Amino acid sequence: MTAQIALREALRDVVGPAARVHGFSGSGGNWRRSNALGDWAIVNVQSSSFSNRERLRCVINLSLAPRPWLDWQERTLGRLPKPIPESLGLYRRRLHPTGAPPGSDGWWEITGRRDSAAAVRDMAARLADDGWPFLTALLDRERMTEQIRSRDLGFIRGDENAGYLARAEAAMLSEHGRSDELDRLLETVATEPQRENAMEFVRWARERAGTRR
């Protein structure tokens, strides 16, 4: 049995049922859940490109893609892929094996059926503790906006990313029409180094807000 097959079967038997309990659907290492507003929570088990039949390394990606952010992505991409990939999320981070040093990019390693079962049990525990419930909470728009205002979008956080965080919050606020707060955020966006893209976003957000009264 290859490492890939061992992982796939263990995910099917252990993580798949847990995903369904939490309202997520999918298979093969990808599970998704949406809300009535069109926001998507995504869990993805990513295998390293350096894996082979005998040894496989993998990590869990968590992603939350609010519909306003996806609408901006559609503006830039022309068309959104189906299904929505975790890479298009506004909030993105990884879950690592239990015991991985803080700040390290630890991955699970699988060589066959026995260690795949142990690895996937640990994945299931990490998801139960800090995966399914966290993403489910972010499917609430108020909670997602609070997350943005906490200056923490997983991989992107802190004052050094002020322009990106302002863009994220502006996308969410554009749903509610024009406001002084939206204008303030867009002024910050306009100072981003990639000025052409920044000004395109400003135009998009103002157009979007203008159609929502």
DSSP string, 33-63: EE-TT--EEEEEEEEPTT--SS-EEEEEEEE
Instruction: Say if CB 208 and CB 179 are below 8 A apart.
Output: no
Please return the burial class of 40, using the count of CB atoms within 10 Å of its CB with bins 0-12, 13-18 and 19+: buried
What is the reported pTM? Answer: 0.94
Q: Are residues 84 and 165 in the same domain?
A: no
Q: Are residues 114 and 172 in the same domain?
A: no
* Mean model confidence pLDDT for the chain: 94
Q: Are residues 182 and 80 in the same domain?
A: no
Q: Are residues 197 and 124 in the same domain?
A: no
Q: Are residues 134 and 162 in the same domain?
A: no
Distance CA(73)–CA(201), nearest Å, equals: 10
What confidence category does residue 182 fall into, taking pLDDT thresholds of 50, 70 and 90? Answer: very high
Q: Are residues 98 and 52 in the same domain?
A: yes
Backbone angles phi, psi at 36, to 5 degrees: -65, -20
What confidence category does residue 52 fall into, taking pLDDT thresholds of 50, 70 and 90? Answer: confident
The domain boundary, picked from 107, 138, 169, lies at 138
* Domain assignment of residue 74, given as a range: 3-138
Instruction: Say if CB 185 and CB 170 are below 8 A apart.
Output: yes
Q: How far is CA 114 from CA 10, 61, 206, in A?
A: 10, 23, 55
In-domain check, residue 183:
yes
In-domain check, residue 151:
no
Q: Domain count of the chain? A: 2
Q: Are residues 132 and 174 in the same domain?
A: no
Mean pLDDT of 14-32: 96
* pLDDT for res 112: 78
80-116: per-residue pLDDT in tens?
Answer: 999 999 999 999 999 999 999 888 899 999 987 788 9
